[in-house]
Structure 1
Amino acid sequence: MDYTIIDAHAHLWLRQDTVVDGLAIRTLENGRSEFMGEIRQMVPPFMVDGVNSAEVFLSNMDYAQVAAAVITQEYIDGIQNEYLAEVVARYPGRFFVCGMCEFRKPGYLEQARELISQGFKAIKIPAQRLLLKEGRVMLNCEEMMEMFRYMEEREIMLSIDLADGAVQVPEMEEVIRECPRLKIAIGHFGMVTRPEWQEQIKLARHPNVMIESGGITWLFNEEFYPFNGAVQAIREAADLVGMEKLMWGSDYPRTITAITYKMSYDFISKTPELTEADKRLFLGENARNFYGFADLPQLPYIKNMSE
């Protein structure tokens, strides 16, 4: 396999200890977490302490020949800015990290300014979590727009996951129109498998917008490996915006409770439905160009004992 592989959507944390929508999320043992009223297998059971560390991920990356990864964030894991700052300082060539603010209440503009002053090159918004019972936080509200202009001026990227379908697409259209130089990565492949997912994909028709596929194997989990429906969705998205606007992402580590890390991309490398050029762009070259990765390691294939 002659591809440079970059994971455009993964997560790291030392411990989950947070509350979302009034419901607790807590690390337990054997890879399980208390998750919003039930017990869920959050990470593989061999991660007995629930620690989702950079070192364990790097071991998975090296084995799967993944050269680099973008570490995004989600409120269900708690805000991980302090740990991610340490991670990128230790492994600057392997990780690109996103800072995250508390966007569910006012005051995040100052938080974003502080994160940028600390050296974060991207800000993450889990926008699907902003449809609050007490009132929706609009992506085109005054404080958001001021933050986006501040980011655009300083060449800070926006990583964002949107609510299902087209609910937040008009807001994003306004953000893109007002900040045409703000580089934006939209996650979860537009929540493919949900109605109107293509409307999120179409946002990548704007030159500053990319789409990443973090969570696509979760969204097609009922179908399971080799995820033929996911391959067809990638082809449909490429027809809408071009393969050069799409990036692979794994949503590690949650997705590897069902499959191995390597399986989260090798269904792409093995499919006959995509050309070699398409695979090269999707699996790494688009992310390399968008995030500016350089001096990536050459990772050898290590033969398994089962071979």
Structure 2
Amino acid sequence: MEYTIIDAHAHLWLRQDTVVDGLPVRTLENGRSFFLNEVRQMLPPFMIDGKNTAEVFLSNMDYAQVSAAVITQEYIDGIQNDYLSEVASRYPDRFLVCGMCEFRKPGFLNQAKELISKGFKAIKIPAQRLLLKDGRVMLNSEEMMQLFHLMEEHNIILSIDLADGAEQVPEMEEIIQECPHLKIAIGHFGMVTRPDWKEQILLARHPNVMVESGGITWLFNDEFYPFKGAVKAIREAADLVGMEKLMWGSDYPRTITAITYKMSYDFLVKSSELTENEKHLFLGENAKKFYGFGVLPTLPYIKNMSE
């Protein structure tokens, strides 16, 4: 069975050089980065220059037959707006890119206006990073609500990762009530391995809200492939809100330090816990409709030398 596959959660950057919670994130060599207080394998070791480029990702996408991807952002990678604007310009049929503002301090509304004027179709908020030591940035603050009304007016998609559990869910409920036409994608499958994860999933009961599974193989890394716990969680989420509200995401490239890119979805293709129709919806059809992708390339299967 052939599927239209769209990755709803991936990352690109040229170099990591930033600070999060007062601690550095710096690109090293051989795919490693100094991450907060230790050296971590941020990329596969063959990406020796530390560059996580669109071209390398496209090679992975073509091999894995992934037609398109949503490029999100996170503060641990630094703000990548300039590079992602170039990526969107070069590969408009393969990537939808999210802009990101400096939401950790006031003044982000004007930044968002600039991103919208430059043609960004989505904005990312790594909301789990807003629980700052010197004061929490509330998602329902006055400036945030102005931002969400602006995005709703201009049909800009909100991509957002929430803190573990239900901590930010009441704020999201207020945003959804205030902006019923704001399209929202909840990331990391509600931080599925943490307590109260289903409270985030239940946000997708609202018509304008979807949930994507970026990072689900990371969250179930301890059990590893074929990630039976992840399949079970997807089944549970579908029972709560319907499979038409869920989308596949990989969290590329960090997750492919442990598995290949194709493995980040083929455990679902091979699962008997999902119907063929559910697989089609989850792996690409839902994302195609939600993000508004147009005609997608047909990618042939290339036989491996080991076959």
The normalised TM-score by structure 2 is 1.00
Number of the residue aligned with 1:124: 124
- Between Structure 1 and Structure 2, how many residues are aligned? 307
Please report how far the alpha carbon of residue 23 of structure 1 lies from its aligned counterpart in structure 2 after TM superposition. Answer: 0.4
Counterpart of 1:171, as a letter, is E
Number of the residue aligned with 1:97: 97
CA distance in 1, matches of 2:102, 2:282: 31
Kindly provide the CA deviation profile for residues 111-166 of structure 1, in whole angstroms up to 9, marking residues without a partner as x: 00000000001110000000000000000000000000011011011000000000
CA distance in 1, matches of 2:249, 2:217: 10
Mapping for residues 92-171 of structure 1, pairs under 5 Å: 92-171=92-171
Please report how far the alpha carbon of residue 226 of structure 1 lies from its aligned counterpart in structure 2 after TM superposition. Answer: 0.1
CA distance in 1, matches of 2:266, 2:199: 27
DSSP-derived class of the 2:295 partner: coil
Number of the residue aligned with 1:219: 219
Mapping for residues 167-178 of structure 1, pairs under 5 Å: 167-178=167-178
The reply on whether 1:199 has 2:199 as its aligned counterpart is yes
Number of the residue aligned with 1:28: 28
DSSP-derived class of the 2:19 partner: strand
Please report how far the alpha carbon of residue 38 of structure 1 lies from its aligned counterpart in structure 2 after TM superposition. Answer: 0.2
Counterpart of 1:178, as a letter, is E
Unpaired runs of at least 5, structure 1: none
Number of the residue aligned with 1:302: 302
DSSP-derived class of the 1:39 partner: strand
Moved segments of 4+, more than 6 Å: none
Counterpart of 1:301, as a letter, is Y
CA distance in 1, matches of 2:146, 2:129: 20
Mapping for residues 242-257 of structure 1, pairs under 5 Å: 242-257=242-257
CA distance in 1, matches of 2:239, 2:218: 23
DSSP-derived class of the 1:98 partner: strand
Number of the residue aligned with 1:51: 51
CA distance in 1, matches of 2:59, 2:300: 13
Number of the residue aligned with 2:10: 10
CA distance in 2, matches of 1:202, 1:121: 25
CA RMSD of aligned residues (A): 0.3
Counterpart of 2:35, as a letter, is F
The reply on whether 1:264 has 2:267 as its aligned counterpart is no
DSSP-derived class of the 1:299 partner: coil
Please report how far the alpha carbon of residue 195 of structure 1 lies from its aligned counterpart in structure 2 after TM superposition. Answer: 0.1
The normalised TM-score by structure 1 is 1.00
CA distance in 2, matches of 1:118, 1:67: 25
Please report how far the alpha carbon of residue 295 of structure 1 lies from its aligned counterpart in structure 2 after TM superposition. Answer: 1.0
CA distance in 2, matches of 1:124, 1:154: 15
Counterpart of 1:124, as a letter, is K
Number of the residue aligned with 1:278: 278
Counterpart of 2:227, as a letter, is F
DSSP-derived class of the 2:159 partner: strand
Counterpart of 2:248, as a letter, is W
Query: What's the % identity of the aligned pairs?
Result: 82
Counterpart of 2:285, as a letter, is E
DSSP-derived class of the 1:113 partner: helix
CA distance in 1, matches of 2:167, 2:37: 27
Kindly provide the CA deviation profile for residues 77-107 of structure 1, in whole angstroms up to 9, marking residues without a partner as x: 0000000000000000000000000000000
Please report how far the alpha carbon of residue 224 of structure 1 lies from its aligned counterpart in structure 2 after TM superposition. Answer: 0.2
Kindly provide the CA deviation profile for residues 53-73 of structure 1, in whole angstroms up to 9, marking residues without a partner as x: 000000000000000000000
DSSP-derived class of the 2:87 partner: helix
CA distance in 1, matches of 2:62, 2:282: 19
CA distance in 2, matches of 1:154, 1:298: 31
The reply on whether 1:235 has 2:243 as its aligned counterpart is no
Counterpart of 1:195, as a letter, is P
